[in-house]
């Protein structure tokens, strides 16, 4: 027997997102969940071939379930199950599996999920609405009853990673059949920000796009050049093993944060090589993406900005679309507001960005420009991200408040200046960043999205940040797909 989701043939159709972004919503009314040690319903629908006691394939076969977010395995199933290993996370030892999604249509009033092992939790999505926005946790071999109360035909998606989902029990006259596979196959190549956990940003990205088969192919510590300090492979070195054999319709690159210590020219060449390898070996594929970030824009050094520019230049040189949460869309029909602004007073590295709170600034805190309240050409906007200086001393901040100094406007921000700056240096509004501020969920600063989106380790995203990042990246990709020819 063959898995429903087999490799597809070229040529591919045009890739189209759903008409409107799909935001995470809760099922209403929500089904009632309960657990038991053994099944209480009589009819069994296994997700593996073989028998209930001796399964011989570790993922759905035949026409009852549709399996996505990875590939079904053919090894003998066990309590942990083993999906096909399609992700290279290190240069020693076996490759790793990806995420899992079992999708099926159920006609009935209730069903039981047979869970043998649940390492990372799982989502239950009913008719595209979640039973909970946090993964459902169980321990050991357990049956999870999902009671809807009324009989109807419903689409059910079980979303997880490393889940030993053995099958479904129903009432005797119920029906199960495979759900439609929605959207293209997309592979997200990234670092530790991109992982197969069910609440990683890729899951929310997939949901917002209205697509099922989105693979979270991340490897921690890697980048376009970075190779996890010699223990793994860089992103271009994973293309031939982790992308090409699986013929994706779209590859989304989301990396670069681990390359910040590298030479920009080296990073640019590696980003170009990545895109070139993908496009040469997967005809018709769409390649898009950009640098990731879980830091507020105020934390980026001039060298970091150079590396970001290098990734963009390398990707675009080989025809990839630039999509990055660090630089949201920023287009003007004419000159942007404040395009003639320059520094009025000098700045010393370490100079505070505010008076102790991002809502108040008095010189010498913050920075002062040649700003006139009556001249929009030199008047900056509160809430905008601006770049101060040039070359090796350029830096970016998000303006939080204003004050006055010698009939000029002083601008406040969260944090402190990184470099010395002289009067007359340019200050220009640039593309806004998804993450602002210098806080985290563990150490909030009181201002900026970093307080909510940066996790307790002050590096990776929080669960709330993952959800927001997935929605933002989906919005950016939708904008890109609708604005350009895809084939």
pLDDT tens for 301-338 read 999 999 999 999 999 999 999 999 999 887 666 677 67
Query: Do 324 and 470 fall within a single domain?
Result: yes
With CA atoms as reference, report the closest residue to 31 among 101, 119, 127, 142: 127
Whether residue 54 is contained in a domain is answered as yes
Query: Do 120 and 207 fall within a single domain?
Result: no
Query: Do 306 and 343 fall within a single domain?
Result: no
Query: Do 63 and 169 fall within a single domain?
Result: yes
Grouping H, G, I as helix, E, B as strand and the rest as coil, residue 68 is strand
| Between 357 and 329, residue with greater pLDDT | 357
Q: How many domains does the chain have?
A: 3
Query: Do 273 and 322 fall within a single domain?
Result: yes
Residue with tokens 């200086």: 389
Q: Is the model's pLDDT at 188 over the cut of 70?
A: yes
Query: Do 219 and 166 fall within a single domain?
Result: no
Whether residue 452 is contained in a domain is answered as no
Whether residue 45 is contained in a domain is answered as yes
Distance, CA of 328 to CA of 122 (rounded, Å):
31
Query: Do 77 and 97 fall within a single domain?
Result: yes
Which residues make beta-bridge pairs with 292?
none
Q: What is the CATH number of the domain that holds 474?
A: 3.40.50.1110
Residue 77 token pair: 């199933």
The boundaries of the domain holding residue 354 are: 333-430
Lowest mean pLDDT among 26-30, 311-315, 477-481: 477-481
With CA atoms as reference, report the closest residue to 366 among 343, 389, 384: 343
Contact 169, 100 (CB under 8 A): no
Domain termination residue (choose one: 128, 152, 178): 178
- Torsion of Cα atoms, 295 then 296 then 297 then 299, to 10°: -70
Contact 69, 97 (CB under 8 A): no
Whether residue 3 is contained in a domain is answered as no
Contact 292, 461 (CB under 8 A): no
Residue 329 confidence (pLDDT): 81
Query: Do 115 and 263 fall within a single domain?
Result: no
Query: Do 326 and 206 fall within a single domain?
Result: yes
Residue with tokens 């920000």: 193
Whether residue 22 is contained in a domain is answered as no
Which residues make beta-bridge pairs with 179?
none
Distance, CA of 448 to CA of 470 (rounded, Å):
19
Whether residue 438 is contained in a domain is answered as no
Query: Do 325 and 337 fall within a single domain?
Result: no
Query: Do 144 and 269 fall within a single domain?
Result: no
> Residues near 382 by Cβ (< 8 Å), separated by ≥ 6?
399, 400, 401, 402
Whether residue 441 is contained in a domain is answered as no
CA 330 from centroid of its chain's CA atoms: 21
Query: Do 346 and 314 fall within a single domain?
Result: no
pLDDT classification of 46: cutoffs 50, 70, 90: confident
Mean pLDDT of the chain: 89
List, in sequence order, the alpha helices (H) in 289-379. Answer: 302-317
Lowest mean pLDDT among 7-21, 259-273, 307-321: 7-21
Domain termination residue (choose one: 122, 143, 178): 178
Whether residue 446 is contained in a domain is answered as no
Q: What is the CATH number of the domain that holds 165?
A: 2.60.120
């Amino acid at each position: 027997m063959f898995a429903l989701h087999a490799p597809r043939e070229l040529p591919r159709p045009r890739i189209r997102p759903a008409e409107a972004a799909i935001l995470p919503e809760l099922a209403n009314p929500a089904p009632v969940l309960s657990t038991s040690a053994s099944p209480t319903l009589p009819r069994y629908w296994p997700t593996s071939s073989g028998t209930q006691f001796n399964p011989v394939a570790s993922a759905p076969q035949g026409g009852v379930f549709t399996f996505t977010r990875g590939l079904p395995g053919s090894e003998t199933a066990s309590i942990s199950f083993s999906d096909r290993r399609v992700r290279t996370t290190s240069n020693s030892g076996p490759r790793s599996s990806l995420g899992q999604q079992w999708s099926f249509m159920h006609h009935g009033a209730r069903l039981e999920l047979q869970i043998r092992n649940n390492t990372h939790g799982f989502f239950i999505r009913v008719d595209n609405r979640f039973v909970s926005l946090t993964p459902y946790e169980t321990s050991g071999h357990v049956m999870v009853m999902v009671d809807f109360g009324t009989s109807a035909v419903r689409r059910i998606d079980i979303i997880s990673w490393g889940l030993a989902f053995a099958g479904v029990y129903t009432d005797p006259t119920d029906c199960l059949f495979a759900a439609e596979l929605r959207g293209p196959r997309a592979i997200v190549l990234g670092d530790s920000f991109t992982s197969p956990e069910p609440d990683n940003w890729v899951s929310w990205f997939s949901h917002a796009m209205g697509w099922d088969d989105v693979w979270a192919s991340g490897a921690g510590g890697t980048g376009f050049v970075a190779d996890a300090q010699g223990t793994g492979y860089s992103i271009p070195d994973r293309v031939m093993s982790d992308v090409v054999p699986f013929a994706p319709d779209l590859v989304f690159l989301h990396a670069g944060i681990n390359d910040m210590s590298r030479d920009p020219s080296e990073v640019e060449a590696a980003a170009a090589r990545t895109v070139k390898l993908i496009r040469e070996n997967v005809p018709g594929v769409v390649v898009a993406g950009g640098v990731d970030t879980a830091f507020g824009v105020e934390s980026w050094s001039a060298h970091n900005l150079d590396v970001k520019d290098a990734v963009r230049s390398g990707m675009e040189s080989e025809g990839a679309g630039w999509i990055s949460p660090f630089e949201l869309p920023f287009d003007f029909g004419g000159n942007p507001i404040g395009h003639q602004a320059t520094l009025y007073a000098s700045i010393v590295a370490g100079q505070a960005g505010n008076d102790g709170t991002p809502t108040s600034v008095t010189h010498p805190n913050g920075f002062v420009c040649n700003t006139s309240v009556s001249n929009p050409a030199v008047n900056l906007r509160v809430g905008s991200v601006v770049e101060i200086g040039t070359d090796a001393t350029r830096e970016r901040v998000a303006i939080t408040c204003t004050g006055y100094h010698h009939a000029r406007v002083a601008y406040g921000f969260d944090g402190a200046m990184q470099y010395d700056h002289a009067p007359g240096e340019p200050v220009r509004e640039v593309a806004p960043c998804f993450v602002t501020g210098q806080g985290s969920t563990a150490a909030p600063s009181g201002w900026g999205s970093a307080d909510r989106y940066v996790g307790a380790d002050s590096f990776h995203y929080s669960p709330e940040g993952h959800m927001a990042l997935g929605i933002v990246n989906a919005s950016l990709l939708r904008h890109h797909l609708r604005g350009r020819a895809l084939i």
